[in-house]
Amino acid sequence: MKPVKIFFLIVGFTLFSVGINSCKKEQTKIHPEASKNIVGTWKIASVIRNGVDITPYFDFAPFSIEFKEDGSYIVNNQAPFVISKNGTWSLDDPTHPLHISFRQEGASQTFTNEFDYPVVEGARRIVLRGAPGCTSNTYQYSLVAQ
């Protein structure tokens, strides 16, 4: 056999061997995504109404909302917010929520707002969007953990 044919035979066999061995299937474990945990006390970081930041025009500092493990919430110090009384809350999906619902004590109506849970500047936030009251005004509340 000529050296060139031997060379191509060796290269071909090597490529064939590498190709066969690279097709091994690896078992990967897919871990289910954790539920979004909003339990804790949250304060208003910013409020945008109809695209305009109105945070500087109202003192939101005293306001907080505490989401409890049992699905209840407590509103501390009134402020213009999607709800004004204590009650219960729920997310439409525990791992990929798009909406949060509030039911105030003594009320039969449930208020549902768009929900987002982004990380901003290294900290988790809750972003609520909706039209509490007048439907011509839309609000976006950005909450930070206290």
Report all structural domains of the chain as residue ranges with CATH numbers, in order of start: 40-145 (2.40.128)
pLDDT for position 106: 92
119-127's contacts with Cβ under 8 Å and 24+ in sequence apart are: 125/45, 126/38, 126/42
Q: How far apart are CA 41 and CA 69, in angstroms?
A: 11
pLDDT for position 20: 61
Q: What is the mean pLDDT of each run of 10 residues along the chain (146 residues)?
A: 66 62 68 87 96 95 97 93 94 95 93 94 93 82 96
What's the whole-model pTM score? 0.75
